[in-house]
């Protein structure tokens, strides 16, 4: 297995899953396989681990073990493929929502602001929508909404207008072309932070990440057995808000629905009331873990 992704909050995730050696577990975001490698070590002969990843590069990291199955699909199809593999209900589900170090470090994937490459950003290389197609084909209004909501970019309106003006002169295809086109929009002294927000917004739009996350969370609650665990690591406020609302309120709007007796109608209960974040020692070893936020929930019996 190629080590291309240092697993974030590894011990906390393993503890949160309450691993049963004979249980069935899901790693919804296999990537470099760091979390999966440790999970499978703790499973006995009757245990099973089913991992999902839509990125074809992840196949190289598949674990050679009869108890392991890699599903080359987006985790939005969680329920269908678990049903196909006769794996419902499951004892625990783990999702690390971050982009893998591998995807950031391979220039041609177009995820990073550090390299000049085609503006791609597709998690699934078979997908049609790329960051370049979003920039060149979206309306000014659509671009403003993408950067304002997904990236929380303060000057989203100006940014959208500048992009539309630039692409009239020449289509935007590469990272450097994009950075050059929007140079006047970037606040001095905050270049890295601004570009990170802009690239985050594009990545979310290209991969429909928030819709996918909602579908995954709802299906997770359906396929977990009573008292089964859901463990989710998120990296920005939009993701974390969806996870938090679903765990605490049973929906994504954050408005609790109650039964006749005043009890909140929801499938999960929070195990940790306070989010779990990486300790200083982990941050020294893996700076990319700095924005990680872990939430653990248990399905109601």
Reading the block at residue 225, the tokens are 């057995």
Cα gap 42→259, rounded to integer Å: 40
Cα separations in angstroms, 93 against 14, 40, 51, 242? 11, 13, 10, 17
**How high is the pLDDT of residue 273?**
86
What is the CATH number assigned to the segment(s) 10-101+209-299? Answer: 3.40.50.150
pLDDT band (50, 70, 90) for residue 2: very low
Distances (CA, A) of 4 to 34, 60, 93, 101, 272: 9, 11, 22, 6, 29
The token duo for 262 is: 């005043």
Q: Which helix (H) or strand (E) holds 82?
A: helix 78-84
Spatial contact of 54 and 121, defined as CB atoms under 8 Å apart? no
Contact status, residue 108 vs residue 116, Cβ threshold 8 Å? no
pLDDT tens, residue by residue, 219-230? 999 999 999 999
Give the integer Cα–Cα distance in Å for 85 and 107.
35
Of 99, 101, 159, 115, the residue nearest 135 (C-alpha): 159
| Separation between Cα atoms, residue 198 and residue 175, nearest integer Å | 12
Provide the strand spans (E) within 140-200: none
Peptide bond into 159 cis (omega under 30): no
Beta-bridge partner residues of 299:
268
Q: For residue range 247-288, what is the model confidence (pLDDT) as tens digits?
A: 999 999 999 889 999 988 999 999 998 999 999 999 999 888
Two structure tokens written together for 174:
């590469």
Query: Model confidence over 19-51: pLDDT tens digits?
Result: 999 999 999 999 889 999 999 999 999 999 999
Alpha-carbon distance of 226 to 118, in angstroms, equals 46
Say if domain 113-207 classifies as CATH 1.10.150.170. Answer: yes
What is the per-residue pLDDT for 1? 39
Q: Element (H or E) spanning 225, and its range? A: strand 224-234
Helix axes 209-223, 191-207, angle to 10 degrees: 60
Kindly state the DSSP code that residue 77 receives in the 8-state scheme: G
pLDDT tens per residue across span 172-207: 999 999 999 999 999 999 999 999 999 999 999 999
Q: How many angstroms separate the CA atoms of 246 and 223, rounded?
A: 15
Percentage of the chain beyond pLDDT 70 is 93
Going from N- to C-terminal start, the domains of the chain cover: 10-101+209-299, 113-207
Over residues 116-127, the pLDDT tens digits come to 889 999 987 778
């Amino acid at each position: 297995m190629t080590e291309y992704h240092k697993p974030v909050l590894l011990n906390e995730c393993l503890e949160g899953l309450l691993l049963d050696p004979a249980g069935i577990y899901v790693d919804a975001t296999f990537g470099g396989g760091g979390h999966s490698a440790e999970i499978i070590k703790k499973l006995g002969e009757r245990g099973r681990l089913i991992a999902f990843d839509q990125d074809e590069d992840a196949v190289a990291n598949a674990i050679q073990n009869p108890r392991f199955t890699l599903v080359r699909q987006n985790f939005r199809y969680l329920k269908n493929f678990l049903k196909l593999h006769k794996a419902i209900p499951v004892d625990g589900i783990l999702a690390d929502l971050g982009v893998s170090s591998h995807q950031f470090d391979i220039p041609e994937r177009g995820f990073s602001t550090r390299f000049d490459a085609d503006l791609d950003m597709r998690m699934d290389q078979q997908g049609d929508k790329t960051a370049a197609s979003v920039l060149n084909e979206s309306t000014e209004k659509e671009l403003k909404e993408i950067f304002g909501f997904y990236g929380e970019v303060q000057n989203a309106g100006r940014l959208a207008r500048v992009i539309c003006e630039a692409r009239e002169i020449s289509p935007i295809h590469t990272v450097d072309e994009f950075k050059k086109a929007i140079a006047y929009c970037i606040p001095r002294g905050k270049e890295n932070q601004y570009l990170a927000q802009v690239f985050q917004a594009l990545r979310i739009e290209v991969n429909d990440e928030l819709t996918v996350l909602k579908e995954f969370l709802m299906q997770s609650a359906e396929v977990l057995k009573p008292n089964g665990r859901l463990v989710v690591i998120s990296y920005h406020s939009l993701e974390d808000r969806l996870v938090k609302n679903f765990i605490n309120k049973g929906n994504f709007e954050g408005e609790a629905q109650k039964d006749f007796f005043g009890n909140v109608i929801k499938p999960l209960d929070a195990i940790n009331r306070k989010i779990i974040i990486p300790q200083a020692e982990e941050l020294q070893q893996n700076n990319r873990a700095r924005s990680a936020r872990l939430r653990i929930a248990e399905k109601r019996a």
